[in-house]
Every structure is written in C-alpha cells, then in structure tokens.
Amino acid sequence: NAGVTQTPKFRVLKTGQSMTLLCAQDMNHEYMYWYRQDPGMGLRLIHYSVGEGTTAKGEVPDGYNVSRLKKQNFLLGLESAAPSQTSVYFCASSYIGEQFFGPGTRLTVL
C-alpha cells in the first residue's frame, strides 16, 4: 500500500496563477482533509470531506476550492494564488480514528 500520496512535491507560482494539488489514498478511507502548515502555527484545516461527492469548509478556507469526485482522490485548487498562500500543504485521510498524512507539497507564491 502506498498510503497517502501527494502531487506535486514542490511548486513555485507567480501571483495570480492557478494550480491544483492532488491527494490520493489507497486505504478506502471515507474522510479526507487538506491542511496548511506555517511556521509557529501548527497545522490548520482548509477543507475536508466526509465521503465521495461531499466537501466542507475548515478553519481557513478562503482562496481555496476542493473536489472529491472519487473516493480515493481529494483535489485542492488555488484559482488565483497570493503570496499569503506560500506554505506546506498536507493531505490526510482517516476511517474511524487515526489520520494518515501524506508527505506534503511545498508551495511558494512569488
């Protein structure tokens, strides 16, 4: 099992550009999450999904959109990137307890 994988690992964008981050899990988990990690602030929840076709806002959803068209995939989109979105993004999935995390995507917005 690969667990939780994220694509890409690194990305540099210019202000105003768009991109999509892909998260995939092969554990048949219902719940999936997108977090951002910033220095001194821990992890903050952006959006989450409790099942295929469902999404909901987390703590810091502004500037991001998500989709969960397939159970195994959870996409995070930035329509118009801003420097404030420079961060490390983590995806996670869970079933009844423990959350399993991907390796992260380091995004820099210039």
**What are the tokens at 58?**
């987390």
Q: Which stretch binds another protein (CB under 8 A): 14-22, 69-77, 79-87, 99-107?
A: 99-107
> How far is the C-alpha of 82 from the C-alpha of 92, rounded, in Å?
24
Q: Residues 55-94 vs another protein: string with x where CB under 8 A?
A: -x-x-------------------------------x-x-x
Q: Which of 12, 27, 50, 110 binds another protein (CB under 8 A)?
A: 50
Rounded Cα–Cα distance for residues 107 and 83 (Å): 10
Position 45 contacts another protein (CB under 8 A)? yes
Phi-psi region at 92: left, alpha or beta (left = phi > 0; alpha = psi -120 to 50): beta
Whole-number minimum distance, CB 86 to another protein, in Å?
18
Q: Give the pairing type, strands 10-13 and 105-109.
A: parallel
- Residue from 4, 24, 75, 107 that binds another protein (CB under 8 A)? 4
